[in-house]
Amino acid sequence: MSAVARGVRLGVDVGSVRVGVARSDPHGVLATPLVTLARDLTAAPDAVPSDLAEISQLVAEHEAVEVVVGLPVNLAGKHGPAAIHVMAYADRLAQIIAPVTVTLTDERMSTVVASRRLAERGVRGKRQRAVVDQAAAVEILQSWLDAQRRRT
């Protein structure tokens, strides 16, 4: 029996400019890229930023049972300003999509790995910037899925 309950998960890579989103298959085996969203940094404090609203729509559209958000822990394993920012983002997302669970997972090096894999496939420059956030979200979600399967 798998440690991961059946259902689609979304993986989210929160950046300062863009948010990459990936999704898993219902069996929790494979993560695939979904979309890159522009961060909405202009929303009023009491309004839902458009990127969070779009993730909420994706959760409903894909009937996601969980959202896995990459937490940028620094190489020393500490939570710096970026991690604190992502934790606040994840908290806000959790309020919006409740009762769907939001899980934080260590995403050290996910963007570096994603960039390297894209470059190996010949995707560079502007084309890479357009998809690197989705690729990082895939790395985050795939690593989390693999870790869950290893626990069984």
How much is the pLDDT for 20?
95
Residue 33: pLDDT band with limits 50, 70, 90: very high
- Torsion (CA) 115, 149, 104, 65 in degrees, nearest 10: 110
Q: Over 80: is that where the pLDDT of 3 sits?
A: no
User: What does pTM read for this prediction?
Assistant: 0.87
- Mean pLDDT for 113-130 is 70
How much is the pLDDT for 1?
36
Residue 22 identity: A
Percent of the chain with pLDDT over 70: 86
CA–CA separation, 115 vs 38, rounded Å? 19
Placement of tokens 């710096």 in the chain: 80
Q: Over 80: is that where the pLDDT of 52 sits?
A: yes
CA–CA separation, 27 vs 6, rounded Å? 5
Domains of the chain in sequence order: 11-150 (3.30.420.140)
